[in-house]
Amino acid sequence: MRRRPLPTFVILCVLSFASCVAHGNDVVVDDSSSADTSEILDAHERALEDVALARARRDAQEALSRVQDFASLAPSLEGLRARGLGAGDGSMGPKGRYPRAPDEEIEDEDERDRWIAAREALYALSALRRIGVIEDEDVAEGEKPWHVSALERSALMGDEWARTAFAYRLWKGFDGVEKDEERAVKIMKEVAMTGLGRGPSTYELKVPTTAEWLRDRERDAGWISESIANRARDQVAMEVDAAARGDNHAHAQLGYRALVGDQGVERNERAAYEHFLEAANRRGGGLPETHYNLGFMHMNGMGTEKNYTAAREQFLKAIALGRVASAYNGLGVLAYNGYMGEQNYTEALYYFEEAAKLEDPDGHFNLAQMYSMGHGVEMNATYGLEIMERASELGHWRAPYELGMAYDLALAVDRNVTKATSYFHVFIEERFDWAKERNDAIEAMIIHKNPWGALVRYALISALGSESASNNVVWLLHKTDAYMGDDRYELAARLLREIIYCHNSPEAQVDLAYLLSSRRAKPDHSDMIDRYDHIHPNASEYDIAAIGHYSAAAFDEEHPYPEALVNLGWKHLLGLGVSVNATRSFELFAKGVVASHDHHEAAPCVAATIISKAWLIAAATSKRMNFGTLGLPAAHFRPGSSYVNQSSGSSAALRVIRLIELSERYILIGLTLALASVLAYRVTLTYRVPL
């Protein structure tokens, strides 16, 4: 869990998106720290790991005490400000450059290690106290909560995660931090510039895993963890066996693992090259993607000698066999840089355009650079910006940084601090590998059955502004035994309000509505903002708050949320805080179907329609037979109600039931007479005199 400090890289910005085309095919940069082992940092790392490996908070108490001991080594907030440190406030140093990280000024190694351990301990404790699973220290009235002060101290001490988390609070203006977007964008940009030096974090043979939401686990019976599936214990052994039997895909996967050192496979570029070569030389030409991989390795001299001619041949094979988008981009890189002779912008432009047509993120990125700098085409920075935004949407690692710089420096677009900060935040999330902590949290929950460990890891990412991590913290609080305090539902509700404020999350709206309607959390003033037109006059404050959140998610102008629509439909059917109106229920169920993106979202809406209609028919029939309304409000069946005015099925059903009842009566009479005849016959046999 310990995060080694990264060197600070200073990038000089010019009036273009970057000083050169950043290729999607760049060589992997390994920026892992080469620092010698340190007893202080090792002890700090063990303390953090012990906190996460504990099975419950009570088991983590001793480890938390050790973390607190490290945090106590940090200077006070006043002391840090007195030193004039600028790492936490985005202030510029001499000649417009950002100041060095504070730990770089400390010459004594032990003192520097204590500084690093203290700032990371402060961040960890701040993240855990923010979600309420460990008690916050008392502060005088009017002062910031301890976890906010601790976060600011850690940021001033140069911790990149703390700086990101503090800047996020400045951007959004919450958690006791006053909104200041100008200061936020300065800090975010400085952190992003540090992350820029990392380059592509992996050689991506496959699409990286996306953030997983634990709430989907209970809503979808077929849910699996993609990150866990990719890290299955026996996966490598299966791939080795399949490769020995000549399986192309197994060779390709083992090549990827050897190239990046994945799943316990030692990093070995030569072994990776040989695996790709095996997969490419099979009957039928092999896998198209492996030809691209070989071209990439030839172009960069990885596992083989650098050979641009061989790289071009492999790229062309990949295109001939399967129109591999990244192969078009590779040809564009060769032409742009003149690796085959002279630079040829016209050829490069053609290949980048072909790659972009196939939605290759590197193709979009490099095409945007060419338009922005006028290489091979008339300069059009505005169009370049549009293409860059598409590259960002497709997941290009550097595109969010370039967009952040464009919006911050007003390059081909009006200055927009909010958009600039947002893009820098996206860039930082990928560069600082939040996904690893998320994957570790999923593993703790699914494989090791340790909700507390998952909660700790998600808390660290949640503080940075990750919506998925925050939602998972909430899920763990009110669905598992990760934390069993009496206030766990209130803590969950507080975090949900924060998610709604920062992300306008419909999932959070629905989850908060559930906690309020079930009386597990108390409403506050922020829950009373959204009002629904059909609220019942006698509705409680819990119902008013819950229905307000359901309606806010259900009737969002851009993305109506099906789960909120179906819940609101049930409220109308059962008359829970809203008017009893079956017609309104069916309208909401139908809107939920229309708003659904796939059959998983639509299924609850369709099921609700079928169940509701069957329930209403059965209840109407039961009421006419004086058996009650089967749990439905009697208002559905009063003259003039929406259901009575349009229902005819219940009368037909009643006639059928009465016919069945009449038949049953005659059958019962017949059976009774038959039984009486049998008994009478047996009696006569008893008194018969034997001969």
Q: Give pLDDT tens digits for 93-109.
A: 433 334 456 777 788 89
Sign of CA dihedral 186, 188, 189, 195: positive
Percent of the chain with pLDDT over 90: 57
- List, as one string, the DSSP characters of 185-205: HHHHHHHHHHHHTT--SS--S
User: What b-and-e string marks burial along 380-417, b requiring 16 or more CB atoms within 10 Å of the CB?
Assistant: ebebbbebbbbbbebebbbbbbbbbbbbbeebbbeeee
Q: Are 269 and 302 in contact (CB under 8 A)?
A: yes
Helices (H), 480-540: 488-503, 506-517
- For residue 638, what pLDDT is reported? 83
Question: Using one digit for the tens of pLDDT, what is the confidence trace for 146-172?
Answer: 999 999 999 999 999 999 999 999 999
- Per-residue pLDDT, averaged over 325-349, amounts to 94
pLDDT at 4 > cutoff 80: no
Separation between Cα atoms, residue 606 and residue 611, nearest integer Å: 9
Residue pair 594/606 in contact (Cβ under 8 Å)? The answer is: no
Query: How far is residue 597 from each of residues 116, 602, 625, 646, measured CA to CA in Å?
Result: 46, 8, 43, 31
Whole-number Å distance between alpha carbons of 673 and 651 = 33
DSSP 2-62: --PPPPP------SSS-SS---TTPPPP-----PPP-HHHHHHHHHHHHHHHSSSTGGGHH
pLDDT band of 29, cuts 50, 70, 90: very low
Q: Is the full-model pTM beyond 0.75?
A: yes
Considering only residues 518 and 668, tell me which one the structure prediction assigns the higher pLDDT: 518
Going by pLDDT thresholds of 50, 70 and 90, the confidence category of residue 9 is: very low
Q: In the prediction, which pLDDT does 33 show?
A: 40
Helix ranges (H only) for 39-180 are 39-53, 61-71, 77-82, 109-130, 146-156, 160-172
Q: CA 675 → CA 33, 507, 662, distances in Å?
A: 93, 63, 20
Least confident of 131-135, 212-216, 402-406, 494-498: 212-216
Mean pLDDT to the nearest integer, 569-574: 96
User: What DSSP character marks residue 528?
Assistant: G
pLDDT of residue 677: 85
**Mean pLDDT, the chain, whole residue set:** 83
Q: Which residue has the higher pLDDT, 447 or 294?
A: 294
Per-residue pLDDT tens over the stretch 411-430: 999 999 999 999 999 999 98
Q: Which distant-in-sequence residues (6+ apart) come within 8 Å of 404 by Cβ?
A: 188, 189, 192, 419, 420, 421, 422, 423, 424, 427
